Structures are given as C-alpha cells and as structure tokens.
A and B are shown apart, each in its own frame.
Chain A
Amino acid sequence: MAQIRIENVRKEFGAFTAVQSSSFTVEDGEFFMLLGPSGCGKTTTLRMMAGLELPTSGEIYIDGEEVGMKPASQRDIAFVFQMFALYPHMNVRKNISYPLLSQGMPRAEVKARVEDVARILKIETILDRPVGGLSGGDRQRVALGRAIVRRPKAFFMDEPLGALDAEFREHMAEELRALHDRIGATTVYVTHDQLEAMQMGDKIVVMNHGVVEQFGKPQEIYDWPATKFVAKFIGSPAMNFFDFDGMIDAGDTVIELSGKKVNVPSSRQGAKGNLTMGVRPEHIGFSDASEYRGRVLATEYLGTTQIITLATPNGEVKARASSRQAVRAGETIGLEFNPGTLTIFEGENGRALLSEANEGVLRHG
C-alpha cells in the first residue's frame, strides 16, 4: 500500500494538451476519485500514473519513489479496464493467476492465492469456466480478482462500472466499496459520474479541459466549489447561479441582487463587475416576507422532496423543497437564501471568492 503523489504532471499529444500541470496527492489507503466530463484528461492522468502513457513533464511518486518514466510492469500496480480486458483465450483461473506467473511464483502458492481471491469475490464456482460466457458482473469480479491477487501497491480503475447496466452498477459500486474497506488498498478510480464519485470516494479530484479544478472530500467539494464548473458539474440539480453586475469588498456581508439585499458569508476578497451568486437548490427557502420574488414555472414530484423551477429577475433557478410545501405553477413567491451556504464567483474566470465560510476548504487546495 502506498501514497501516490502527482507533481506538475503535464501531457501533450502533438499540439493538443491533454493534461496541464496537475498536482495532487492520494494518501495511503484512500479511495480516490478522478472526476470530470469526457475529454477532461482524467483517463490520461490515470494512464500516466499506471505507466501506460509517459508524461511530457512532471513527476509521479508511488510510495516515495519517482516512477514517471518507468514501464508499467515495474510499478507494481494493478489496473482494471472499463472493458475488463480479460484474456479471452484463458479461463477464469488462468486469468487471475496470470499476474502471479509473471513473477515466477511457485504453482502451489499461485493456486492458494487464486482460491483465496475467489473466496473473497465469491467466484469459486466459475474458476474453470472460459471468460467468454460470463455475465457482466462476473467479468467485473474476475477483473477485480486479477487486480487484487498480486497485492499491488495501488489499484487504478478506469470507469470499471461503465460497461454494466444501471441496475447492476449500484450493486457493484457497493461491492467495490466494501472490498476497498476490507483490503484498504490505495485506489484511484476514474469516472464521469458525479453521483458515483460522491457515493464511493474518500476524496475527489474534479478535472476539466486538462486542469485540476478542485480536489478534496466529497462534502467539501459539494458545499464549497472552487469554480463555477465544479458547482455546475457536481450535484443534481446543479447549483443555481444568480448573475449580477455589482461589487463586493473584503469584509462585506451583504450583496445587492436586482436591488434586493441578500446576506452572504463575510467576504475575504473584493471584486466588481460581472459576479455570480451560487446557491444549492436545497438552500433556497420560501417566505412571503422576502422581497426577492420568483414565479413558479413547474414542479417535479420526487417522493419526499420536490424540485420547483422558478423564474427570477436573475434567470431560471431550481429549488428543492419538502413535498409537503404547497406550491402551484403560476404563483409568485418570496425566496430566501440560507446565508451561510452562499458562494460568490468572479465572472471572468469563474473562481469562487474566498469568504469566512469557504476559506477553510479552498485555502489548502
């Protein structure tokens, strides 16, 4: 097991920069998510960590040793591919034992280890089957078996649940997390699914256009996004943006939104011009006393909660409220924002302004 440190890693394919000078640290035993939309460089980053691509510049440390230019076979890591990549000409047992055979391990020990792993993954009964006829879930388990059998320093997984159907994904995600908790191995996991990332990860890196946007615990990232991209990408429905033209000074606790005053966490930075106030749907409340009003466009019933779409002077927003809250499409109601949860973003670069509420999270990242 090992800590993995990425320092200023950069990858170019010809004129295209896939990953721009990225740095982050995966602590020993962490379940670490690389999250972002397709083409954001997350898979390239993972492949560089695994040794399937060489970085153009920068350093990669696994267990304190710089491995950036070492071939994959010398890094002592395991990789689970999205398509599983089980060797089709071998049966399950052969597939799982293959990484051990390359180390020249004695047959008896290989057999014992394979059976050990089969027991953990509950695939003892299919060990002698060819991999061709297996179901998606069993293939996934065999792929995991091939990864854990050699007890590597770290596991890298490239959207391992992407090839499974929705129903089974949920189940496999739980199984995967339980497996991680049991063996406690450092795991780096690539996904484009923010729910999967939040559900499984100890820590998340959000990437976009080859840049690390933010890196931290799921709750920190959800509550205190560092950029508008992160705010939009994480959470469903996404964070609401109220664009406004105005200014804020360091120490200010009030902003003016379409002429109405809104309380915000005390700002640590000043800015003016195009600004955006971000608020999560569940932090919008309703009160007739509020001067800031919106017209209900639609409601979406979700069981215990409902999503209410409103037209406001600053654009369309979505609020999450209890299903018991009675609202009708067409009526106009007053909106209230939970002051301790608001984030102000700068217009041009979309970065969050530091405030007393988010500085604890954003200063270290």
Chain B
Amino acid sequence: MSSYSVTEPSGRQKLFAGTLVILYALITILPLLWIIGTSFKSPSDAIAYPPKTFFSPTLEGYVNLFTTRTRATEEDVKALGEPTTWYDRIVRKDGFVIAGPSRFMERFSNSMIIGFGSTVLCIVLGTAAAYAFSRFKVPLKDDLLFFILSTRMMPPIAVAIPIFLMFRSLGLNDTHLGMILLYTAVNLSLAVWLLKGFIDEIPIEYEEAALIDGYTRFQAFYKVVLPQAMTGIASTAIFCLIFAWNEYAFAVLLTSGTAQTAPPFIPTIIGVGGQDWPAVAAGATLFLVPVMIFTIVLRKHLLRGITFGAVRK
C-alpha cells in the first residue's frame, strides 16, 4: 500500500491525466496523419467517398509534386520506348509524360533561406537588445520596451499595404532580403521580450566574476551569459522559425517568383485534370519536416525553456 503524498499524484489521478493527454494528442495528430496518408494515395482514392482509410500506397503524389507533366497520345508514349525510371512508369500509367521538374524545390529552399535567415537575424538582434535592456541603464527603458511590445498588438497584416508600397519603392518586392527583414521585424518584439525574461534570470554575479577573472564585458557576455541563455535562445528560435515558416499572407502579397516561399506555392499545385490532392498533401508533408527536425533537435532546451521562471536561480 502506498502512503498518501502531497506532491505525488495518486494512481487514479495519473490515469486520468494520462488519458486526457493521449486524447489531446490524438485529436491534434489526426489531421496530420490524414495529410500524410493522403500524400500516398492515388488521386481517385484521395477524393473517394466515403473516404478510404485503407488503400494501396503510391508515390504518385510526390512524383506530381516534383514534376510538370503533359498529356500524351498512345503513339507518342510508344515512340518514347520503355520507361527508364520508376517515376516515368507512374506518370505514363495515366497517359502523361514528364515535361520537367516543378518549382517546388525552389520554393522549398526559399522557405529555408527566409525562415532560417530571419530566425538567425532575429536571435542575434534580439539577444543583443535583451541583454542591453536587462543589464544596462537605458534611458526610457520601460517606454521603449512597451513600444517594442506594441508593434505586436495589431495583426501584422493590418500594415500590409504600407509595407507593400514601401517594399516596392525600395526594390524589396519578391526578394529574399525583403522577406527576411519583414519576418525579423515582426518576430523581434517577441524575441526581445522572451529573451529579456531569460537573461533577467541569470544572476549578474556570473558576469562580474568573469570581469574580475580578467575578461572584457563582451567576453563575459558570450562566454558566460550566452551558454546560460541557451535554453531561452533555443525556445525563442523555435517560436520565430515557426512563425516565419508558416507565414502565408505576406508571402502571397509580397512574393510571386524568385523569393516565393512554400506556403503560397503549395495551394497552386493543380493537376491538369482537377485538383491534385495527393500532390498538395505531399507538399504539406515535406513542408513539415524541417520545423519538426529543428524542434526535435532543440527539444531538450524547449521543454526547459517553456517552463522558464521555474528554472533554478
């Protein structure tokens, strides 16, 4: 028999909490599983009614995502000879031939450049600003901090038109730099506030000890404060990346070609005969991967970071 404890939940409480968590996880993960499932369906399975839970998987969606295709007559197909690759075979089954690669890889790498670029910039600027706000006497500190926060109080899209005009006159429309700057500007307030909280938690004695030990202020900052702030930096980076990665409205408005990111591109994947849902689902699935990897890599920090305030002092 176990004795009563104030801090340890009882077995029944644990069972109840566990059930709730699993239920919640199922609810959130179901659409995700559906998308991943759809990406492996054939177009006809994807729109079958009632929806199919069991189906024979195919890579057609992924092939369609990465290629552009044209319809060909039977003679034309015969004239080409036997298909040489597995993806040729998939395409020709439906009477198509591959015309060339699609733009998905370009859009995907645009997303990577802009997403990670703005995250890095945001963290560099945010950490420096947060450190200054945390440690130095900055004139009008509270007002400045409030001003920074206030940029977050309206939906960013409310300023879409001024930004569009500004970008046009600066030649930033449809450029990587423009999008990186924009996402950095939107995320910076969050980054400064989050990071300031984390840096405030680091006792100033660590830096003073480093100063006494013969290091300069800057060395004390990056050798002592930065390693301590890694938790906060990691979780802030994840928040920044998720925003920049998923952002849709500005991307639609401000990019069309060179710098277009994946979110506005994926919905435009339309097959020749009707909506090609497996291809769209394949795009969405691949789109999830980088953020997932990034989050898993930083997970250890994230778990400690989200519960900050509870960290030991």
Contacts and interface: CB of A to CB of B under 8 A. Distances in A.
A87 B213 CA distance: 12
Contact of B203 (A51, A83, A98): A83
B222 interface: no
Contacts of B213: 73, 98-99, 102, 146, 150
B216 interface: yes
Contact of B212 (A50, A87, A89, A103): A50
A83 B312 CA distance: 13
Contacts of A73: 211-216
B155 interface: no
Interface string B201-230: 001011011111111100100001001100
Instruction: Determine chain A's interface SS by DSSP, over half rule.
Output: loop
Interface in A82-107: 83, 85, 87-89, 98-99, 102-103
Name the prevailing secondary structure of the B interface residues: helix
Nearest to A132: B312
A248 interface: no
A229 interface: no
A78 B228 contact: no
Contacts of B206: 85, 87-88
Given A81-B205, A83-B203, A83-B205, A88 B228 contact: yes
A72 interface: yes
Nearest to A79: B212
B208 to A, nearest CB: 5
A5 B206 CA distance: 27
Contacts of B227: 89
B228 A72 contact: no
Nearest to B217: A71
Interface in B259-278: none
Q: How large is the interface on A (under 10, 10 to 19, 20 to 34, 35 or more residues)?
A: 20 to 34
A52 B209 CA distance: 10
A230 interface: no
A337 B214 CA distance: 56
Interface string B187-212: 00000000000000001011011111
A352 to B, nearest CB: 38
Contact of A85 (B203, B215, B216, B219): B203
B214 A102 contact: yes
B227 to A, nearest CB: 4
B208 A72 contact: yes
B214 A52 contact: no
A51 B213 CA distance: 12
A361 to B, nearest CB: 35
Interface string B76-111: 000000000000000000000000000000000000
A78 B209 CA distance: 9
B200 to A, nearest CB: 16
A185 interface: no
A77 interface: yes
A98 to B, nearest CB: 5
Contact of A87 (B209, B211, B216, B219): B209
Contact of B208 (A79, A98, A99): A79
A99 B212 CA distance: 8
Contacts of A50: 212
Given A89-B227, A89-B228, A52 B203 contact: no
Given A73-B212, A99-B213, A103-B214, A85 B228 contact: no
Contacts of A81: 205, 208-209
Contacts of B228: 88-89
A55 B208 CA distance: 17
Contact of A79 (B209, B216, B219): B209
Contacts of A85: 203, 205-206, 208-209
A185 to B, nearest CB: 15
Nearest to A88: B228
Contacts of A150: 213-214
A153 to B, nearest CB: 12
Interface in B216-262: 216, 219, 224, 227-228
Q: Which of A51, A77, A81, A103 has the most CB of B within 10 A?
A: A81
Contacts of A71: 211
B128 to A, nearest CB: 20
Nearest to A104: B214
Contacts of B224: 87
Closest 6 CB pairs of A and B: A102-B214, A85-B205, A99-B213, A85-B209, A89-B227, A79-B212
14 contacts: A51-B211, A51-B212, A73-B214, A73-B216, A79-B212, A81-B205, A85-B205, A88-B206, A88-B228, A98-B213, A99-B212, A99-B214, A103-B214, A150-B213
Given A72-B208, A73-B212, A103-B214, 15 more contacts: A52-B208, A52-B211, A73-B214, A77-B212, A79-B208, A79-B209, A81-B205, A81-B208, A81-B209, A83-B205, A87-B206, A89-B227, A98-B213, A146-B209, A150-B213
Interface of B: 203, 205-206, 208-216, 219, 224, 227-228
